[in-house]
Amino acid sequence: MCLPDSASTMDPSTPSNETPMVPNPKNLSIYDESQVQPQPPLGPTRLQIAVKQSRERVERFVHLSKAHGQMAVDRWIDLEHRAEDSVRNTVPKGEKLFPGALYVAVAGLAGSVFARRRNFLVRWTAPVFFAAASSFYFLPGTARTLSRRLYDTYGDEQTERQARNTIHQLTGLGSKLSHQVESTVHDARASLVDSVRSLESKSDKPQK
């Protein structure tokens, strides 16, 4: 018994459930898959390394400059605060620092002008003495505060004794130098007068 052929018995008008396999052109490659190899990543070039190092140096320099600038600003602000605190603690309330400080400075200059022809000790001490004396007149509160602080700092007996001895030694040295200068000038003047008189006496003698 022969079985009928399926292809001959199938009705050509009946649609078939099987779809034909059509190759996708996107998946096709002109190269053989076995020949395609991944390329290794390229390293940085010398130019890239130089640019990177230069950028790091510049960034480091900028950071250091900012840090030093901030330190300088902080130091300046700290000095300003200290100066303000010192002035506030030195100058009493109700007393103006200007123009009293200007008058004290002018008095110190007047002392230097007054002692310009004296010995070196007077020339050095006269401006300080004139300024200190005028400060008690133009800035009495400030002068008293400063003198009290100086005495609290250097006001022990040993320091006072040393200061008196130093002043005494300087005064004695100044007087000794002034006496030596005066004696030298006097001797030079006397010798000059004697020389002039001897010349005059020789010129007054009659010539033979």
Model confidence over 69-108: pLDDT tens digits? Answer: 999 999 999 999 988 888 788 888 888 888 888 999 998 8
What is the tens place of the pLDDT at every residue in 189-203? 888 888 777 777 766
The answer to whether 121 and 171 are in contact (CB under 8 A) is: yes
Determine the average pLDDT of the residues in 22-41. 55
Q: Which residue has the tokens 């040393």?
A: 162
Task: Record the pTM.
Answer: 0.41
* Cα separation, 117 vs 7, whole angstroms: 146
pLDDT, the chain, mean: 76
Determine the average pLDDT of the residues in 60-77. 93
What integer pLDDT is reported at residue 145 of this predicted model? 86
What integer pLDDT is reported at residue 21 of this predicted model? 53
Backbone angles phi, psi at 64, to 5 degrees: -65, -40
What integer pLDDT is reported at residue 158 of this predicted model? 73
Ordered by start, the domain boundaries in the chain are 53-90
Of 141, 47, 50, whose CA–CA distance to 90 is shortest? Answer: 141
Q: Among 89-93, 110-114, 135-139, whose mean pLDDT is lowest?
A: 89-93
* Cα separation, 138 vs 164, whole angstroms: 28
